């Protein structure tokens, strides 16, 4: 049986680094908006509860996607990308939602 070599994608590491940067910036924005609202006393109880309850779900989805990619014998960079994807999506949607002004 001939061995299959995976083609090296020179931009895969750059895409992973960019995805990590997006996660970092979205997380920073989310923390900033939530901290500002908490200090001002304008944070809703639903938002306060969401801060705690959304993390276990996002991390469970992260583990699920990474495990699935690893079980399908995907390259390590793809497994890492799948692990970051749910976290980045949640942080990005939170940052967008919290950054909107009321009345738009």
Contact 88, 23 (CB under 8 A): yes
The pLDDT of residue 42 is 92
HSE-CB of 49 using CA atoms within 13 angstroms:
3
CB atoms within 10 A of CB 31: 15
CA-to-CA distance for 69 and 75, rounded, in angstroms?
A: 8
DSSP string, 44-89: -HHHHHHHHHHHHHHHHHHHHHHHHHHHTT--HHHHHHHHHHHHHH
The pLDDT of residue 9 is 77
DSSP character for 10?
T
Model pTM score: 0.81
Nearest CA to 29 out of 85, 76, 98, 89 is that of: 98
Residue 5 pLDDT > 70: no
The pLDDT of residue 12 is 87
DSSP character for 33?
H
User: What average pLDDT score do residues 98-104 get?
Assistant: 71
Q: What's the pLDDT band for 3 if we cut at 50, 70, 90?
A: very low
Residue 32 pLDDT > 50: yes
pLDDT, tens only, 79-90:
999 999 999 999
pLDDT, tens only, 45-83:
999 999 899 999 999 999 999 999 999 999 999 999 999
Residue 94 pLDDT > 60: yes
């Amino acid at each position: 049986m001939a061995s299959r070599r995976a083609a090296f994608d020179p931009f895969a590491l750059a895409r992973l680094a960019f995805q990590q940067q997006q996660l970092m910036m979205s997380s920073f924005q989310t923390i900033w908006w939530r901290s500002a609202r908490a200090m001002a006393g304008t944070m809703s109880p639903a938002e306060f509860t969401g801060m705690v309850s959304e993390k276990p779900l996002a991390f469970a989805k992260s583990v699920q996607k990474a495990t699935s990619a690893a079980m399908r014998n995907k390259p390590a960079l793809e497994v890492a990308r799948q692990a970051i994807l749910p976290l980045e999506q949640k942080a990005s949607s939170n940052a967008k939602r919290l950054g909107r002004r009321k009345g738009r």
